[in-house]
Amino acid sequence: MLDVVTFGEAMIRLTAPPGEALESAPHFSVHVGGAEANVAVTLARLGFRAGWVSKLVPDPLGRRVAGELRRHGVDVSAVVWASQGRTGLYFVEHAPPPRGMTISYDRAGSACSTTTPDDIDWAYVRGAQWVHLTGITPALSDPCARTVARMIAEARDAGRRVAFDVNHRRKLWTADRARATLEPLIEGVNLLIITQDDAREVFALNGEAPDLAAAIVRRWRTDAAVVTAGAAGAYLARGSDVHHEPAVAAGEIDRIGRGDAFAAGLLWGALEGDLLAGMRYGAALAALAQTYWGDVSWSTKEDVLAVLDGGRRRPAR
Amino acid sequence: MLDVVTFGEAMIRLTAPPGEALESAPHFSVHVGGAEANVAVTLARLGFRAGWVSKLVPDPLGRRVAGELRRHGVDVSAVVWASQGRTGLYFVEHAPPPRGMTISYDRAGSACSTTTPDDIDWAYVRGAQWVHLTGITPALSDPCARTVARMIAEARDAGRRVAFDVNHRRKLWTADRARATLEPLIEGVNLLIITQDDAREVFALNGEAPDLAAAIVRRWRTDAAVVTAGAAGAYLARGSDVHHEPAVAAGEIDRIGRGDAFAAGLLWGALEGDLLAGMRYGAALAALAQTYWGDVSWSTKEDVLAVLDGGRRRPAR
Amino acid sequence: MLDVVTFGEAMIRLTAPPGEALESAPHFSVHVGGAEANVAVTLARLGFRAGWVSKLVPDPLGRRVAGELRRHGVDVSAVVWASQGRTGLYFVEHAPPPRGMTISYDRAGSACSTTTPDDIDWAYVRGAQWVHLTGITPALSDPCARTVARMIAEARDAGRRVAFDVNHRRKLWTADRARATLEPLIEGVNLLIITQDDAREVFALNGEAPDLAAAIVRRWRTDAAVVTAGAAGAYLARGSDVHHEPAVAAGEIDRIGRGDAFAAGLLWGALEGDLLAGMRYGAALAALAQTYWGDVSWSTKEDVLAVLDGGRRRPAR
Amino acid sequence: MLDVVTFGEAMIRLTAPPGEALESAPHFSVHVGGAEANVAVTLARLGFRAGWVSKLVPDPLGRRVAGELRRHGVDVSAVVWASQGRTGLYFVEHAPPPRGMTISYDRAGSACSTTTPDDIDWAYVRGAQWVHLTGITPALSDPCARTVARMIAEARDAGRRVAFDVNHRRKLWTADRARATLEPLIEGVNLLIITQDDAREVFALNGEAPDLAAAIVRRWRTDAAVVTAGAAGAYLARGSDVHHEPAVAAGEIDRIGRGDAFAAGLLWGALEGDLLAGMRYGAALAALAQTYWGDVSWSTKEDVLAVLDGGRRRPAR
Amino acid sequence: MLDVVTFGEAMIRLTAPPGEALESAPHFSVHVGGAEANVAVTLARLGFRAGWVSKLVPDPLGRRVAGELRRHGVDVSAVVWASQGRTGLYFVEHAPPPRGMTISYDRAGSACSTTTPDDIDWAYVRGAQWVHLTGITPALSDPCARTVARMIAEARDAGRRVAFDVNHRRKLWTADRARATLEPLIEGVNLLIITQDDAREVFALNGEAPDLAAAIVRRWRTDAAVVTAGAAGAYLARGSDVHHEPAVAAGEIDRIGRGDAFAAGLLWGALEGDLLAGMRYGAALAALAQTYWGDVSWSTKEDVLAVLDGGRRRPAR
Amino acid sequence: MLDVVTFGEAMIRLTAPPGEALESAPHFSVHVGGAEANVAVTLARLGFRAGWVSKLVPDPLGRRVAGELRRHGVDVSAVVWASQGRTGLYFVEHAPPPRGMTISYDRAGSACSTTTPDDIDWAYVRGAQWVHLTGITPALSDPCARTVARMIAEARDAGRRVAFDVNHRRKLWTADRARATLEPLIEGVNLLIITQDDAREVFALNGEAPDLAAAIVRRWRTDAAVVTAGAAGAYLARGSDVHHEPAVAAGEIDRIGRGDAFAAGLLWGALEGDLLAGMRYGAALAALAQTYWGDVSWSTKEDVLAVLDGGRRRPAR
């Protein structure tokens, strides 16, 4: 039995070396990433049983996606291997301000976007303690949106818990469409995660991060809501209680996947029955994640605990 | 006024380092390629005025395609910049036998595939001495096929000459569909180029390469037909006359674009009014092209003539 | 239940770029390899359930070894994580003749070399159809030699079959010591694999490869013996019957692991109940393996069958 | 008709990877740069018609220089191809303080340094709205100095405008020699650009940057003078009016070419008839330029406007 | 006659590219380092006659160690070439906080650790003005500890001076064992160097850095003691006099070897008979050292003096 | 006392990666090479005392040249550090036929070309058993030619022996000028080395390689003459005796320096008093040299002897 199952698209990520441009770089480095897959990888590396459900094409890029997840210990036995479709891609440029990082998706027509409820092994999903979903997958296609909805229903029916990370993608749909689709989905989930900006843009909520967290719990009756506010840390609301967790100071190599690492930390806490601990885990994992190239952290549970314990100021020699 | 105008798709090419796999390579090198663009680049490097007509999206990858062609001297002033569509990609793995080279296209939905006759600056096309087209472009979409047909008609109407390289792409369409579309297009062109294999597969012709060349001239009333037979060289048929040009011995770094270099050599000869010279130029350019990474040769006219002159056996120091 | 279980050491491999020397190279590429692990990887990529038993230290290099195997689908759940020892290393230089390839091991004190029978989950081993072992592991240490002996005994007791690849390592022990240790182990195994050179050097057998194969079957009563003779192919002896399988012609990128790929092909055939097919699979896998950097082939079952089917002479486009 | 024509030397730039030394680096990255060429590239990328006049040798390095400029859209049709001389080089080391960046030129005997007025197509020069020159070119050789003087005279005679960026190069000549040569050249130019340090060192002016700018306008009767003061921004003096433009905050990847990007921004403004806008464009372009490896920015007009518009705080996804 | 002789182990250092992990990096860069060797390299680059005594195996890695030192001008003629043992390794990961840098040694069984007094050419040692030793070497093995003790005795007997850098290595031994071994060694040395942390941890001293320095001079009757305190600079105690030298501000590329560069600066001063100058040299060398990849600085004496002279604020062009 | 002293220019070599062009390569690898320096490096690696005399500038590139030689064990204590001049460069492209390798020198104005007899420490030169010179150095400048002539005179005067490798460089001077300068120099040298092509081109000799060798001995009264004929091996003439040494078969990574390796082998033999052995050493060293990137072989004496002993057919494991 799995601790957490996730469902979503993972893509091949092509990154220009830092300081180069997509227009100029002689080569692109190759990684694998996707919000839900990143969460599964982080959990698997921490020692949890994490499964990732998706649809892939059995060509070199599709096999690479599955292999990369498996390498970290994610269970990919429920992945559906499609006879059609392509592997989604995204292109990344890293640069300091004022240029900043750019992310361009090239994912239309991906195998994952054709996933329907019939593709899913529902027993597999129902067997996990937590189902973790994001607002990206429903934006990929109508069948994907229906699959997400069904997944939430199945999880509840099986007495499992649901985490949902809103992750609004402006390039995939408008805030209005996102809101219309996501509102029914997030109603009553056990753990809702959202950035401060998305809370305002997608759900037209007002106020500062702690208010937003409290408002979400009230409005959609979630057990808990976490609003992340970048360097200002994150806020966890449960009932009328709001807890603040400061961000862990960190240098930045590659910020992509930072939020997914945070979500994984929350789930770690949730699996231990301690969401406050999850807030700390999330803060440490998010900080560690941005010190690695690629979407995911290569850290271990010991590394995370060392960060929370004050970190290593000097390398032990 | 241009010497040669071409029309077709150019893509971003992502190549695994030699000996690696697309599934394993830590980075992919980035090139630009496309059959017609490769011909234009080769001609421009030789000093001819070559123009490339296509449709691109104005994002980093699309700009990269145009910039790379411009760098070699190709005129890209007639490229249409689209507001929709993507930049086509292809993935390449190089390996010795029995693994061999693999090429995978990911070009569905490209901006170029949406080109219609209305996108074209016909005065630009009519102003070139030769129009060079391939059988790839009609396979991309119906509008592309219509654009190619119109281009041939315009060229003839303006008294220009037409070269056509069949370049059958099994992954884009069947031999039957290719034949039905291409037959009306190649009827009466001034120069038809085809591989021995394509002549048999697409047009169901029989016999050895010299017979195939002669048969093509007879059947589609082309001024000239060149059938390429790999290491066995190439055959030029004009009327009932067939000339054999042996291949130039060459080590292999990257075979992709070899045929396009050969076609460029033929056009060089054609522009000088000497197709037999063009056969020699083509043989030398094809040999040189496969000694460079990427689709195109970085050689100059002097390099080509040196090869035909016996080559450099010892490097001059 | 597993199809094949293997036991042995996998190491971090550090390779100078081709044409460089270990003394000069600015960087070493990093791979994971080990004879038994290579066999497991190849089988897992082909779709078989392959498990690898070993002992690793839970530091970055040890985790890398396990992760790399898991990525290809090998089951590493029975790996023992040691609190002491190091991760073995080997250094590789690739060069054309007369310099040739060099391999230097730095594996003394490895965690794996401390494995004892008590470390092993014997139920796990007994559950596999085939147990695959090599002559390298007994050379690592006395406890390793005892563990190998016990593994053969357990497999037989459970009614499983045993494959043994002699793989003599001159740098680990002398031919005399190898012979004394290996003779009792190979007695009566179901499939013995050995190079022509090792047959002569370790077991002091005489004659050509087919004679050697037949002599082995007679002398140690193995069900089958395969003697490999490099470019001259391989010979399978069963009873008095000797079958010759020619080598598949192949360019060489990296020869290391070629023999392991061949052994995996034999096991594939054995699992299908057709050792003659296994000889063909092995020949194709060995050829493919040496077209990739690193110890293992990234090919799929389809790639292997394509090679046996005449290969791809032209890349499909 | 061109918007801007420039004249000067462009070189092959060889850069040690960051943190390496020229004495230690296993490889040098290869770029093309030169103050005037950098201005032309930036303007061409912004959509202006920019031409670069120079002298090159037709060997691989010379062709590379021309090709790299052409790639960005610079017109190089007026480049003279010399039968003698070499391609100038410069070597760059990047390092944090206290080591800092070092630039070493190896440009003696370059083809460009042999340019004489007779090499120039004066009709080409007279056809551009602005002629942009720097104080580097007169320092290369006497013939170069005479060519620069003639270019200013021709531009005036044709009713065109002249921009001059002083760019003092201590390694090429002394401040005294620079002053003697440059004073007659800058007299009455339409736009003079100079760093605060050069104003003091070459022209022995005193005071702070705003005073320097005003003094220059008074003394050499330029229409406008811009004094740049690094992080303190830049000052534009016209008549008695002095405007301050703060610098745009930016991370630093590679500072070389920052001043040239600023100059290109000024010319953009000048071409739009709005030098104040030019100050803003320059500030944004200078900031962007130092976020790319190499001398030039790969940004587009949209990127510049986005920076001026507050920049992208979050990458759009 | 040498200015300085050192004795200790140098290893092959394998470093993951910045932002990568040892678990993920596709390649490791290769350097040579070791505390005493780093000091010798720095001194040799400054123009001093520096000799390094050690034991190496004559394989590619051992030859690389010797060659790398020789390249910088270190005399390695007294290195003993062993017939057994291996070349020590260490693995480095660079990352920003909270992950930070990690260093893992894999040096057990190194040739150097088998050095005994009988291996040493004592005339060579006695001929140097200064003998520089560290607390690492005695931690490698008992024979090494005896060799260090003998070296101090020989130096004194020959009327030479001794410098000792404590350099405690937690991974090699405990503070208690270190103290027991090191106390007799440091008694009365001419120059003792120690970090503030080591002074507290190994010798159980209390107080701030200046107090620690004074206490060391008193307790072990050293001519001078230098306590380094990272960004807070260093303190030199002689008799009852304590001098503070602030650190030179520096960006960080690779901090390893910073302390060795500082020690080399002290020895430079000592050789000039001016330890206060040595404190300044050390501060500048330490700052420069951390701007280079690898353990050592590639700077020259002129570079050091330029840093002390205010540094280059602008690169001279 | 040295075994061999050489005098000549060493340069920084910049090489495009194989398959790239100087016009296209994103980076150039950096090596050090020069005919006489290559000989010195090879001899030093074999254990001989080899000194290299030259003139360098003390900038990073000049220091790199000296450091690289020192690394291999060459004595560079007699190098003159100039206050003017530059470090010579050469650019290399590697490609298979028909493109082949290209070498372009950029060495005009090098510090070495300004060497005069007054720069040389004649006692140093007179102290070596052999002086090794080439026909490249006299082609650099008149002062260099005078220095070479003086060096031969000094060697003879001191009773030392002289080896001279003609090494004609068409790009530096004509065959006529070479002949006029070289004839007096080679008169009576102890060992003359020349390629078959140079013998014909420079000295207008006729006949096949063995005849050429005999003719040289007769005409210039050399003790011995070796004529190399590429794959056909080499011919040693002494008096009327001519010995043929076949070439050792070798794959080709980088052919540059092959002839210098051969010359070093001859000197090895000469130092052992056995020129026939020298022919064998030279053949093996030349073969090994072309299996490494860069001008020099990283092999050891053991590697050479192993090649002569039949080579390693299988890597020892």
Residues of F in contact with D61 (CB under 8 A): 22-23, 91
Amino acid letter, D188: G
- Give the pLDDT score at A158: 98
- Give the pLDDT score at C1: 84
- Give the pLDDT score at F311: 55
Contact (CB<8Å) C253/B19 = yes
The per-residue pLDDT for range F137-186, each reduced to its tens digit, is 999 999 999 999 999 999 999 999 999 999 999 999 999 999 999 999 99
Catalytic residue selected from B75, B165, B260, B295: B260
- Give the pLDDT score at A315: 60
Across all residues in chain A, what is the average pLDDT? Answer: 96
In a domain? residue B314 = no
User: What does the DSSP assignment read for C28-55?
Assistant: EEEEEE-HHHHHHHHHHHTT--EEEE-E
- Which strand (E) or helix (H) includes residue A217? helix A209-220
* D124 touching A (Cβ < 8 Å): no
Assign residue F158 a region (left: φ > 0; alpha: ψ between -120 and 50; beta: otherwise). Answer: alpha
Q: H helices then E strands: how many in chain F?
A: 11, 14
Q: Which residues pair with C157 in a beta bridge?
A: none
Neighbouring chains of E at 3+ CB pairs under 8 Å are: A, C, D, F
In a domain? residue D313 = no
* Domains: count for chain E: 1
The per-residue pLDDT for range E150-201, each reduced to its tens digit, is 999 999 999 999 999 999 999 999 999 999 999 999 999 999 999 999 999 9
3-state secondary structure chain E: CCCEEEECCCEEEEECCCCCCCCCCCEEEEEEECHHHHHHHHHHHCCCCEEEECEECCCHHHHHHHHHHHHCCCECCCCEECCCCECCEEEEECCCCCCCCEEEEECCCECHHHCCHHHCCHHHHHCCCEEEEECCHHHHCHHHHHHHHHHHHHHHHCCCEEEEECCCCCCCCCHHHHHHHHHHHHCCCCEEEEEHHHHHHHHCCCCCHHHHHHHHHHHHCCCEEEEECHHHCEEEEECCEEEEECCCCCCCCCCCCHHHHHHHHHHHHHHCCCHHHHHHHHHHHHHHHCCCCCCCCCCCHHHHHHHHCCCCCCCCC
Q: Are B128 and B137 in contact (CB under 8 A)?
A: no
Nearest chain B residue to F230 by CA distance is: B314
* A&E contacts, CB < 8 Å: 59
Q: Which residues contact C75 (CB under 8 A, 6 or more apart)?
A: C2, C44, C49, C50, C51, C52
Contact (CB<8Å) F71/E73 = no
Q: Are E191 and E228 in contact (CB under 8 A)?
A: no
- pLDDT class of A1 with cuts at 50, 70, 90: confident
Min distance F100 CA to chain B CA atoms (Å): 7
The residue among B23, B61, B92 with the most chain A CBs within 10 A of its CB, best to mutate, is B23
* Minimum-distance CB partner of B298 among F21, F103, F197: F21
* D122 touching A (Cβ < 8 Å): no
Min distance B250 CA to chain C CA atoms (Å): 17
Residues of E in contact with D99 (CB under 8 A): 250, 288, 291-292, 299, 303, 307
* C312 touching A (Cβ < 8 Å): no
* A20 touching D (Cβ < 8 Å): yes
- What span, in angstroms and rounded, lies between the C-alpha atoms of F271 and B257? 54
Contact (CB<8Å) B98/C250 = yes
* Minimum-distance CB partner of D288 among A18, A98, A101: A98
Neighbouring chains of B at 3+ CB pairs under 8 Å are: A, C, D, F
Q: Is the pLDDT of residue B313 over 80?
A: no
The token duo for B59 is: 């994002």
Q: Is the pLDDT of residue D315 over 80?
A: no
Residues of E in contact with D198 (CB under 8 A): none
Q: Is the pLDDT of residue E96 over 60?
A: yes
Min distance C135 CA to chain B CA atoms (Å): 29
User: What percent of chain E lies above the pLDDT cut of 70?
Assistant: 98
Residues of B in contact with F169 (CB under 8 A): 317
Q: Is the pLDDT of residue D252 over 80?
A: yes
Residues of B in contact with C292 (CB under 8 A): 19-21, 24, 95, 99
- Which strand (E) or helix (H) includes residue F39? helix F35-45
Nearest chain F residue to B315 by CA distance is: F102
* A103 touching B (Cβ < 8 Å): no
In 3D space, the residue among A224, A205, A208, A221 whose CA is nearest the CA of residue A165 turns out to be: A224
The per-residue pLDDT for range F5-47, each reduced to its tens digit, is 999 999 999 999 999 999 999 999 999 999 999 999 999 999 9
Residues of C in contact with F248 (CB under 8 A): 98
The residue among A11, A13, A22, A23 with the most chain B CBs within 10 A of its CB, best to mutate, is A23
In a domain? residue E317 = no
Nearest chain B residue to F90 by CA distance is: B317
Q: Which residues contact E268 (CB under 8 A, 6 or more apart)?
A: E43, E46, E48, E277, E278, E281, E282
* A49 touching C (Cβ < 8 Å): no
What's A215's domain CATH number? 3.40.1190.20
Q: Is the pLDDT of residue F314 over 90?
A: no
- What span, in angstroms and rounded, lies between the C-alpha atoms of F167 and F202? 10
- Give the pLDDT score at F16: 98
Section B68-73 average pLDDT: 98
- pLDDT class of D35 with cuts at 50, 70, 90: very high
The per-residue pLDDT for range F103-119, each reduced to its tens digit, is 999 999 999 999 999 99
Strands F161-165 and F191-195, bridge-based pairing: parallel
In a domain? residue D315 = no
In a domain? residue B131 = yes
Burial E291-316 (b: 16+ CB within 10 A, else e): bbbbbbbbbbeebbebbeeebbeeee
- Give the pLDDT score at E180: 98
In a domain? residue C315 = no
Asked whether the CA dihedral B53, B57, B62, B67 is positive or negative, the reply is: positive
* Minimum-distance CB partner of B70 among D63, D70, D300: D70
Output the CA torsion F155→F157→F160→F163 (10° steps).
40
Q: Is the pLDDT of residue B315 over 70?
A: no
- pLDDT class of E243 with cuts at 50, 70, 90: very high
CB atoms within 10 A of CB A206: 10
Contact (CB<8Å) F253/C95 = yes
In a domain? residue B20 = yes
* B286 touching F (Cβ < 8 Å): no
- Across C261-309, the runs of DSSP E, i.e. the strands, are none
Nearest chain E residue to A309 by CA distance is: E98
Residues of C in contact with B102 (CB under 8 A): 315
Contact (CB<8Å) B102/C315 = yes
In a domain? residue F109 = yes
The per-residue pLDDT for range A221-253, each reduced to its tens digit, is 999 999 999 999 999 999 999 999 999 999 999
Catalytic residue selected from C260, C274, C303, C309: C260
Q: Which residues pair with E199 in a beta bridge?
A: none
CB atoms within 10 A of CB C238: 18
The token duo for D30 is: 């290869």
* B301 touching D (Cβ < 8 Å): no
* A84 touching B (Cβ < 8 Å): no
Residues of C in contact with F284 (CB under 8 A): 98
Q: Is the pLDDT of residue E314 over 60?
A: no
- What span, in angstroms and rounded, lies between the C-alpha atoms of E107 and E113? 9
Listed as ranges, residues in chain C with pLDDT below 50 are 313
In 3D space, the residue among B178, B185, B147 whose CA is nearest the CA of residue B163 turns out to be: B185
Contact (CB<8Å) D70/B68 = no
* Minimum-distance CB partner of C103 among F248, F288, F317: F317
Min distance A11 CA to chain C CA atoms (Å): 17
* Minimum-distance CB partner of E298 among D21, D96, D103: D21
Contact (CB<8Å) E71/F73 = no
pTM: 0.97
Q: Which residues pair with E5 in a beta bridge?
A: E51, E131
- What span, in angstroms and rounded, lies between the C-alpha atoms of A70 and A29? 20
- Give the pLDDT score at F310: 80
Residue range of the domain that includes E282: 2-308
Q: Which residues contact D174 (CB under 8 A, 6 or more apart)?
A: none
Tell me whether residue A260 is one of the annotated catalytic residues.
yes
